[in-house]
A = this chain, B = another copy of it.
Amino acid sequence: MQLTHTPAINDSQRRQLAPLEMPPRLLLGPGPSNAHPDVLQAMNTPPVGHLDPAFLALMDEIQSLLRYVWQTENPLTIAISGTGSAAMEGAIANSITPGDTILIGVAGYFGNRLVDMAGRYSAEVRTITKPWGQVFNLQELRSALEAHRPAILALVHAETSTGARQPLLGVGELCREFDCLLLVDSVTSLGGVPLFLDEWGVDLAYSCSQKGLGCSPGASPLTMSPRAWEKLQQRQTKVSNWYLDMQLLSKYWGKERVYHHTAPINLYYGLREALRLLADEGIENSWQRHQQTVEYLWQELENIGLKLHVEPEFRLSTLTTVCIPEGVDGKEISRQLLNDYNIEIGGGLGELAQKVWRVGLMGYNSRKENVDTLVAALKQVLP
């Protein structure tokens, strides 16, 4: 190789930078949340190879613990090598056979994202809608299933854009009655909100690592029931997505251990630690902790005169939408919290843009002292 014959180096995009320094934020928005310090420490472990026996054993631990936190026995329970939206797309890509009708419950931003994705995988997309912040009851779902006869019903268990919790009890039975798969977004519920995939008859679910699990983002849980897997096995064409193809991924996560792609090794270290800590705590204790912390938040916010957007019965324990009082510039308040107090909270999306703030208390961050810190700062910055 003759380096002397190569072109001159273009230095126009070269930069001289100082070592990384980031502000110490308290992340109380819709996610990411602060990862548990032990999780970050685990991510600092030098990597091994993606086919190293030590790594394969760690993958088994992740699978088992994901089943535990999801309360499922699904053999095909893995982490996708991407963030929550990649796992969402994995659920869509592996459940829709082109031409399938999918019925999607849309009462927020992430219902709309499912609509966008499903269309890209050649589904006939039908929707049932509600104002942002509300949920669907069983009778509404039954009517929609009767009207549309879908192959898949997709619901968002925890709508990150609204803070509403979609009840799932009874929906699985309904889906069996109408012979369709039940696909559930649990991005903002897994680890923090009670969720019983097998009891509730959920066929496909996905989540992320940086919310209720208390990890860093980038390795995202995805699970498929034997019913969903059987449908995938029967399709005649390849899934229109190579990276997220569960038939290929199952050969890497399963007994064959066939190389598919290089996993994000250090993130899997973190995810394993986050799940280990959660199993040590006990999933029901984690749910209780999230519930107690958020009820304290609601009380404290109401004490300073703020109103909440969602009816108490359907509020998430992980994410709360707070109504921005009339005359208050919501963005400016968020900016002050970030710049003056190093606290991040989220703003509203879509129908709720500029109407709510979104406050997350998720995973490691679901602790009363964080509520106190936030409320003390809010008292300072609110007019």
Contacts and interface: CB of A to CB of B under 8 A. Distances in A.
A139 interface: no
A129 interface: no
A264 B267 CA distance: 9
Contact of A19 (B11, B14, B38, B46): B38
A40 B44 contact: yes
B67 A13 contact: yes
Interface string A85-119: 11001000000000000000000000001001101
Interface in A43-97: 43-50, 52, 54-55, 58, 61, 64-65, 67-68, 71, 73, 81-86, 89
A147 interface: no
A194 B25 CA distance: 40
Nearest to A86: B243
A6 B24 CA distance: 38
Contacts of A264: 82-83, 216-218, 264, 267
B284 A9 contact: yes
A138 B28 CA distance: 57
Given A31-B262, A242-B116, A273-B20, A48 B284 contact: no
A41 interface: yes
Interface residues of A, number: 103
Interface string A265-298: 1110110110010011011100110010000000
Contact of A120 (B14, B47, B217, B242): B242
A159 interface: no
B82 A82 contact: yes
Interface string A1-33: 101001101111111110110111101010110
A20 B55 CA distance: 11
A121 B49 CA distance: 30
A344 interface: yes
Contact of A52 (B44, B64, B89, B344): B344
Nearest to A335: B53
23 contacts: A3-B287, A15-B61, A15-B68, A15-B276, A17-B276, A19-B42, A20-B45, A20-B58, A20-B269, A20-B273, A25-B48, A27-B48, A35-B266, A43-B44, A44-B44, A81-B86, A85-B242, A86-B243, A86-B261, A120-B238, A217-B264, A217-B266, A266-B267
Given A3-B288, A117-B242, 15 more contacts: A6-B194, A10-B198, A13-B65, A15-B61, A15-B68, A22-B46, A25-B46, A27-B49, A32-B50, A47-B210, A83-B264, A218-B267, A259-B349, A264-B264, A266-B267
In the A-B complex, the 8 residue pairs with the closest CB atoms: A218-B264, A13-B67, A85-B261, A13-B68, A44-B44, A82-B82, A216-B266, A20-B42
